[in-house]
Chains A and B, each alone.
Chain A
């Protein structure tokens, strides 16, 4: 980014300084790279002028293009989880904090993240309805014209029973945490909301190495 003025560079560095206090898994240099990348993303946004950050549509296309996600419900939920100040835009701070977990989170952080994604109304519980909503189309077909929806309902019941350790009819973070620790596969039980290894590698390569080369 040769055209970046020294002024701009300084700004970025101080921002990186500030952010690095809140972000666990990125080095300062990496944060700088991420800020630069964010600026590029922002510039690419269709309606960049009034934006304080990435809007939902742009965010979704990033999730789709860079992290191979395609489930609309889940993508919206991930947006909601990134958007901690609920202003419908992902600021650079939200972006980098979110990515820290998204790309390099510990199991603890990931459990929390996924739980927030799945808790669509933000009431700190995953309810039967929320589960059903997320899994609605996950059973494609059953033999003998059995109703797939019944199958999904059945599976929701089974899963709720399994995760609801405190028997209150819904899954709290504590329940979810315990279930995932027992069986890691349950982390993304209701939909893929974390990138796979390959796309993480691709993204990091693009952002960090690519940027460093410049």
Chain B
């Protein structure tokens, strides 16, 4: 019960402890099973039924006192059982609306009392007692139940040591009964689930296409319309946004049936169900399920739209025939294609093959009748299968064709090396072209319990029947590869190696070959070879895996099949060639999070780090040492791929990888340096690495490598410096080792945008030190940077502008920026939307604005208005940066009353936004504003007073104002004729006064 309830039952909210059991057929089944268990408990196990629970089961009941009859003491609404425990407490206590039950016999009686509400009571009980076993037996027993421990004697011992209890025996028996129930429930549920067909994007797409064709106007149309909510299809075939895809959701549909209201439907891997109405953009709670889950669209629609159900039955024949006519058209188009463009034909064919296979699946999968009922042939044979199971069952025992398929499979399985893995999840069969049934464990069930491979082999057996139809279209590689895989399975070591060498001769970087290998079950075979003791076979297998892993699908399949674990195992083998190949393969496979996690979880990081420990002197190597260095290089390549995950970065550090990387940094070979620097720059996102890079003396090497003439290497180096130069000492070291000049010289490679982004980033961070800015001046860096303010991608601009902002801290640089025409592009960038860029741009503009001549230009370009408009930016960083930038504008706008008026007005308005009041204060805007009051222009007075009034709502600003002697001019202004002006000035004075009063109070009383 423990496992079933916590894992298999479908709760509404997974996280909370107060979830409700959803109303699904599965839960219904679960409840019924538990109910019958309880109902029969007293009669079947009378002794155990008396066992008193560790803690009472308590829930909100619908029962009232009048429902209870004999055997109970009833006073008012409170009911107590006459049955008491050894201490005299009743075993049942009803205190509406709560009921407390402490034995199965009472539970049993209670259930019998409830008549027609039995299920509801069980449901309520389970909802309120999420872990009933804990309450019945105590937590340690419940843990035992989860732990699947069968050892009875151990249990006895456990009970005895826990408590000297006379009913030890009963407790253990009770435990075993519950354990048994749990198991029974799981088996039942799994049985249920195994009948549900899992969906995937291709299947859904096919079904939608099929239904689309049957929309229209005619009498026999199935639907009015069917539409996706999104036109965008991700590469995996899903249309649901990625954060919903993690829940297994594939896409959302809006369907108008002919006879009922519009249906909003979610298609997920677990099935199809109604949602709360996802249209274009789903609100969070729109995604909630509001109906049962159906195995596909047709069955959902059948239950929601009677007309659909009626018409689809009529149309069955038509639907079935659809794909075949389609297919003929297809073949023709392929032929045409082939004559026209022979060089493309393979690829084209490949695509068509997939398409076709999919269509064939459609025929079986989506074509309503065929799926749910035995096709006529099976009907004739008198085969009666329950609906929904027909497809699975039919091939099992009937035609000789399938028999042979089955035998074929068995032979394969017994073949010398084909140790079939039970847990593979991507179908492996010969001729299986599109993995329509991608198996993900349904609802986190412990799927191992039921044999998944059985369904897998059933699929396999279906193949021989289908294949002949598509024979003609398969590329010749496909057949060759299929034959070779067969050879590997049946051959000895020599033959296998020869076959692997033959396989290597195919163009393994080509998708056709990659997918062919997968589709004929080659991946399993290759992975199985990795677990043998044959070194040469392993080498051959890895050489192939390494190449075909350039395909995303293959990478994923390898990981799904547990191949990556086998590869990780090989990393610390004794054979050098194997070590290198394994590491190299990991480097390619570990390009997505799950793979990276797998490498870590199987101890791969440690093993890989060990590979780096080769010779200490990397120049003048012997042949042997060269081999070691090559292994180290492959190890680094693998670590580089793995280091994209933060946890792996930690793992590399903990395994002692940093000093080893530092040693390899001294290698004279670019092929070594690229992965080493690549890994370092990837890891430099972590502070621990930045510190280590500096303290281990790597900055010197990095600067040296910066002087190489390999773009990629320079890019990684510059990135590493970019990340590390947050630290002042590092910045100084870069200067000391003459890295600044090298960085500036990289700016000439402006065509390589990645390199440019890294170099400008490094310059930006280095320029935080003013000594560096001065040094940069010697190389005319600023002039070059200003030229990079236009026509660059944002990743470059952020850094360039950041650097310009730092450079502008030095007065003569402000003039340089102006002289080089940098003000205009800077102001132009104020209209952008990239927040990181805006933070830097406002900063740079603010820094430039401290120069009077710059200020004039900024004002002419309407820059001040642009900056203050950024005060409304949703990002707090942009706001504060903009506020900071406005201050010099305020200061410098001394003479121009028009500008002053607008500025004050802007500040006044901006203060109504968020934390701007305080930000202006921090940025020092208050004092110059007070000075504005000296202006002779009354409109300046008005807007200034407004602004001051707004600012005065922040106590710190009041203090500043007071210090700057604001009260006197304000009092003067209060005498103005303008009502607005009067009010603002008075309001401001009032705020200052209130603060002063509050202050005085504090002083008086404390």
List of B residues within 8 angstroms of A190 by Cβ: 494
Q: Given the complex of chains A and B, what is the CA–CA distance between A139 and B408 in angstroms?
A: 17
User: Of A6-14, A26-34, A170-178, A180-188, which binds chain B?
Assistant: A180-188
CB distance from B246 to the nearest CB of A (A): 40
Q: B407, B495, B536: which contacts A188 (Cβ < 8 A)?
A: B536
By a CB distance below 8 angstroms, the chain A residues around B411 are 141, 143-144
Contact of B490 among A141, A159, A191, A198 (CB under 8 A): A141
Q: Are B495 and A185 in contact (CB under 8 A)?
A: no
CB distance from A146 to the nearest CB of B (A): 8
CB neighbours (8 Å) of A186 from chain B are 498, 501
- If A143-B408, A144-B404, A185-B540 touch, does A191 touch B487 (CB 8 Å cutoff)? no
Asked if A155 and B498 make an inter-chain contact with CB atoms under 8 angstroms apart, the answer reads: yes
Residues of chain A within 8 A (CB-CB) of B404 are 144
Q: Whole-angstrom distance between the alpha carbons of A137 and B539 in the complex?
A: 23
Give the complex CA separation of A159 and B543 in angstroms: 18
How distant is the Cα of A197 from the Cα of B539 in the complex, in angstroms?
15
Contact (Cβ within 8 A) B505 A141 = no
Q: Is B532 on the interface with A (CB-CB < 8 A)?
A: no
Q: Which residue of A lies closest to B404 (CB)?
A: A144
Q: Given A140-B490, A140-B491, do A189 and B408 touch, yes or no (CB 8 Å)?
A: no
Which residues of chain A have C-beta atoms less than 8 A from B536's C-beta? 185, 188
- Using an 8 Å CB-CB cutoff, how does the interface string of B525-568 with A read, 1 for contact, 0 for none? 00000000001100110010000000000000000000000000
Q: Is the CB of A189 within 8 A of B490?
A: no
Distance between Cα atoms of A190 and B535 in the complex (Å)? 16
Q: Which of A143, A154, A192 counts the most B-chain CB atoms under 10 A from its CB?
A: A143
Decide if B497 touches A185 in the complex (CB within 8 Å): yes
CA distance A159 to B494 in the complex (A): 12
Known interface pairs A155-B495, A185-B536. Does A139 touch B487 (Cβ–Cβ under 8 Å)?
Answer: yes
- A162 contacts B by Cβ under 8 Å: yes
Check A151 against B487 for contact (C-beta < 8 Å). yes
Q: How far is the CA of A110 from the CA of B575 in the complex (A)?
A: 18
Q: Are the CB atoms of B490 and A148 closer together than 8 Å?
A: yes
Q: Does B646 contact A (CB under 8 A)?
A: no
Contacts of B416 in A (CB 8 A): 140-141
Most buried by B among A139, A148, A152, A198: A139
In the complex the two chains form, is B486's CB within 8 Å of A143's CB?
A: yes
Determine whether the beta carbon of A189 is less than 8 Å from that of B487. Answer: no
Instruction: Tell me how far the C-beta of B1004 lies from the nearest C-beta in chain A, rounded to whole angstroms.
Output: 92
Residues of A within 8 A of B825 (CB): none
In the assembled complex, which residues on chain A have CB atoms less than 8 Å from the CB atom of B505? 162
Please, which residues of chain A bring their CB within 8 A of the CB of B497?
A: 185, 188-189
A144/B574 in contact, CB under 8 A:
no
Q: How far is the CA of A46 from the CA of B415 in the complex (A)?
A: 41
The reply on A142 being an interface residue by CB < 8 A is yes
* Chief secondary structure at chain A's binding surface: helix
Please state if B500 and A155 are interface contacts (CB–CB under 8 Å): no
Residue A40, interface by CB 8 Å: no
Say yes or no: A135 contacts B494, CB within 8 Å.
yes
Interface check A138, CB cutoff 8 A: yes
How far is A114 from B543 in the complex, measured between Cα atoms in Å? 23
> Which of B486, B494, B495 is most buried by chain A, counting CB atoms within 10 A of its CB?
B494
Residues of B within 8 A of A139 (CB): 487, 490-492, 495
Question: Cβ of A142: which chain B residues have Cβ within 8 Å of it?
Answer: 486-487, 490
Please provide the chain B residues from 936 to 954 with a CB less than 8 Å away from any CB of chain A in the complex. none
Once bound together, how far apart are the Cα atoms of A151 and B488, in whole Å?
Answer: 11
Q: Which of B412, B415, B491, B536 has the most chain A CB within a 10 Å cutoff?
A: B491
The answer to whether A197 and B574 touch (CB under 8 A), given A138-B494, A140-B492, A185-B497, is: yes
A155 touches which of B502, B504, B535, B540 (Cβ 8 Å): B502
Q: Which residue in chain A gives the minimum CB-CB distance to B495?
A: A138
Verify if A85 is at the interface (C-beta below 8 Å from B): no
Contact of A158 among B486, B490, B502, B540 (CB under 8 A): B502
CB of A159 within 8 A of CB of B502, answer yes
Do residues B500 and A185 form an inter-chain contact, with CB atoms below 8 A? yes
Interface residues of B in 481-516 (CB under 8 A from A): 483, 486-487, 490-495, 497-502, 504-505
- Tell me the A130-166 residues at the B interface (CB within 8 Å): 135, 137-144, 148, 151-152, 154-155, 158-159, 162
Chief secondary structure at chain B's binding surface: helix
Q: Are A192's CB and B540's CB within 8 A?
A: no
CB contacts under 8 Å to B, within A70-105, are none
Which residues of chain B have C-beta atoms less than 8 A from A129's C-beta? none
Chain B, interface residues (CB within 8 Å), range: 20 to 34
Instruction: Please give, as numbers and ranges, the residues of chain A lying within 8 Å of B493 by CB-CB distance.
Output: 192
**Does A196 reach chain B (CB closer than 8 Å)?**
yes
Interface centre among A141, A162, A189, A196 (most CB of B within 10 A): A141
Chain A interface size, as a band, is: 20 to 34
Cα separation A21 to B494 with both chains bound (whole Å): 36
Nearest chain A residue, comparing its CB with the CB of B576: A197
Interface readout for A113-137 with B: 1 if CB under 8 Å, 0 if not? 0000000000000000000000101
B430 to chain A: closest residue by CB:
A143
Q: How far is the CA of A137 from the CA of B505 in the complex (A)?
A: 24
By beta carbon, the residue of chain B nearest A189 is B498
> Are A185 and B501 touching (Cβ within 8 A)?
yes
Residue of B nearest to A179 (CB): B501
Q: With the chains together, A158 CA to B575 CA distance in Å? A: 29
A162 to B493, CA, bound (A): 19
Residues of chain B with a CB closer than 8 A to A138's CB: 491-492, 494-495, 498
Q: Chain A residue with minimal CB distance to B492?
A: A138
Distance in angstroms between the alpha carbons of A191 and B498 in the assembled complex: 10
Determine the distance from Cα of A189 to Cα of B486 in the docked complex, in whole angstroms.
19
Whether A155 pairs with B487 at a CB distance below 8 angstroms is yes
Cα A143 to Cα B491 with chains together (Å): 12
Q: Which residues of A contact B490 (CB under 8 A)?
A: 139-143, 148, 151
Query: What CA separation (Å) do A143 and B410 show in the bound complex?
Result: 9
In the bound complex, CA of A159 to CA of B497 (Å): 11
Q: B937 to nearest A CB, angstroms?
A: 87
Contacts of A191 in B (CB 8 A): 494
Least distance between A32 CB and chain B CB atoms (Å) = 25
Q: Complex formed: what's the CA distance from A138 to B502 in Å?
A: 16
Residues of B within 8 A of A154 (CB): 483
Question: Which residue of the partner chain A has the closest CB to B536?
Answer: A185
Contact, CB under 8 Å: A183 / B535: no
Residue in B415, B487, B502 whose CB lies within 8 Å of A162: B502
A residues in contact with B540, CB < 8 Å:
185
> Bound state CA distance, A152 and B539, in angstroms?
22
- Which residues in B have their C-beta under 8 angstroms from that of A155? 487, 495, 498-499, 502
Q: How far is the CB of A74 from chain B (nearest CB, A)?
A: 9
- Complex CA–CA separation, A188 to B501 (angstroms): 12
B120 smallest CB distance to A (angstroms): 57
Q: Mark B229-272, 1 if CB is under 8 A from A, else 0.
A: 00000000000000000000000000000000000000000000
Find the residue from B416, B495, B502, B539 having the highest chain A CB count within 10 A.
B495
Residues in chain B near residue A198, CB distance under 8 A: 574
**Residue in A141, A151, A158, A196 whose beta carbon sits within 8 Å of that of B535 in the complex:** A196
Q: Given contact pairs A140-B490, A162-B501, A192-B493, enumerate 18 new A-B contacts (beta carbons under 8 Å).
A: A135-B498, A138-B492, A138-B498, A140-B415, A142-B486, A142-B487, A143-B412, A143-B486, A155-B487, A155-B495, A159-B498, A185-B497, A185-B500, A185-B540, A185-B543, A188-B497, A189-B494, A190-B494
Can you spell out 27 A-B residue pairs with CB atoms less than 8 angstroms apart? A135-B494, A135-B495, A137-B492, A139-B491, A139-B495, A140-B491, A141-B415, A141-B416, A141-B490, A142-B490, A143-B408, A143-B412, A155-B487, A155-B495, A155-B502, A162-B501, A183-B501, A185-B500, A185-B501, A185-B536, A185-B539, A186-B501, A188-B494, A190-B494, A192-B493, A192-B494, A197-B574
Q: Which A residues form the contact surface with B (CB < 8 A)?
A: 135, 137-144, 148, 151-152, 154-155, 158-159, 162, 183, 185-186, 188-192, 196-198
In the A-B complex, the 10 residue pairs with the smallest Cβ-Cβ separation, listed nearest first, are A138-B495, A143-B408, A138-B494, A143-B411, A141-B490, A139-B491, A142-B490, A138-B492, A139-B495, A158-B502
Residues of B within 8 A of A (CB): 404, 407-408, 411-412, 415-416, 483, 486-487, 490-495, 497-502, 504-505, 535-536, 539-540, 543, 574-575
